[in-house]
Homo-oligomer: A and B are copies of this chain.
Amino acid sequence: MELLSTQPYKGTRDFYPDDMKLRNWFFGKIRRALELAAFDEYNGPMVESLDLYIAKSGEEIACEQTYNFEDRGGRRLAIRPEMTPTVARLVAAKCAELNMPLKWFSIPNLYRYERPQRGRLREHWQVNVDIFGCDTFDADLEVISTAINLMKSFDADETMFRVHINNRRFFNDVISAICGTDAEGSRKVSKVVDRRNKVTREAYVKDLTELGISEDKIAKIDALYTMTVEEATALCPESRGSEELLSLFEAVRAMGIEKYCVFDFGIIRGLDYYTGTVFEVFDEAPENNRAMFGGGRYDNLVGLFLKKTNISGVGFGFGDVTLENFLVTHKLIPDIYNIGKKVLVARFEEVPVEKYTSIVDSLRENGIVSSLYIGTKKFGKQLDYAIKGKYTHVVIIGGNELETGIAKIKNLSTHEETECPIDKIGKYFN
């Protein structure tokens, strides 16, 4: 028989216990922070109708960037590449009974069909945070301050990350004011601005020129990249987008979180479904300075499912790979592998098993992580097992100890050996 490969599928990862501890640690922190802020967790199936992604991104992109297939009933399915269509579906299905505004989050695993590269794997886990059913900038503010709180929950400070904020409505209006473009014209300009950091200056200017934008107008757009929010919004003071931006930044200052935030006209968030505030959270480390995650306001997604129903949403998604890179870069991961006591009860053949299991039971009743050694190896092997398994203590009860009623307890970090009456071991480690 040919042997099977032990490698996971390309672009996916195995999570051995140490990897899993790390992931559970950081998602646990995020989950607690979100629950404390009264966000409710939801989840949905891994497999969805492919139509969900086609409706949002078009047939070509949906088919190319997802793992998709047909079931035997001819249904076209995809493994979810993102959570937003799923959550929009859930909201649409029960919108009459749900308590708006909803504060929801989820931590799904997602699959994208793309070339694996740093920070972009085919399978990843992603925290999704969304608020549904609030049309004013208050929800945008709550989402942005939640993103900041999540970063702060890891003791990240303003030297490590920054939230870059823009507004799509403002973008369209200011481009229209400068260039005289209509909505479609502004959308085309947004695509060029979105690509700006990925192409040369020449290519950028050429793309704008091809859209009929003259040199002096390009200069005016250039100026926007370094303007304050007041300077920029003064170019189109009547715009609702300007008003939203100014209100948002006013609140950000009043709340004392302006040190984490900056206006950035270059933030577009490619996807066409964003309608208002858009933002990206940047890693400020010089060697790693780039957008880690982002989000924004999307007002019409629920409309894919329901006629004449407008439930606005605003949210963001934050992937585990990016988060882990950030935490490693800024040395924000404490020693999570050696926390608390962990007790191995060693085992000797002359002692009946129930003596040991009752000790383990009493340790667990006292909340002590503990295990009876499984098997019949010699004590030296059991000690090796305890050390390699990061146990902190070994309880030793052989024939002699059973007779005297006094167990030996070995501390594996100090190498000290102490004694304890066998019937008191349960409380010994408290």
Contacts and interface: CB of A to CB of B under 8 A. Distances in A.
A38 B371 contact: yes
A121 to B, nearest CB: 10
A101 interface: yes
Number of copies of this protein chain within its complex: 2
Given A48-B9, A49-B4, A376-B136, A71 B67 contact: yes
Interface stretch (A203-211, A326-334, A350-358): A350-358
B354 A256 contact: yes
Contacts of A344: 38
Contact of A94 (B16, B44, B47): B16
Nearest to A8: B45
A193 B184 CA distance: 71
Interface in A354-396: 354, 357-358, 364, 367-372, 374-376, 385, 388-389, 391
A68 to B, nearest CB: 8
B99 A388 contact: yes
A188 to B, nearest CB: 23
A224 interface: no
B111 A46 contact: yes
Nearest to A370: B38
A234 interface: no
B47 A79 contact: yes
A5 B49 contact: yes
Given A93-B14, A255-B354, A4 B75 contact: no
Given A47-B79, A145-B357, 6 more contacts: A9-B77, A36-B368, A38-B370, A67-B69, A138-B375, A139-B375
Interface of A: 1, 3-10, 12-17, 19-21, 23-24, 35-38, 40-49, 51-52, 55, 67, 69, 71-73, 75, 77, 79, 89-90, 92-94, 99-101, 103-104, 109, 111, 113, 123, 131, 134-136, 138-139, 141-142, 145, 251, 254-256, 304-307, 342, 344, 352-354, 357-358, 364, 367-372, 374-376, 385, 388-389, 391
**Ordered nearest first, which 4 A-B pairs have the shortest CB separation?**
A12-B45, A6-B93, A17-B40, A38-B371
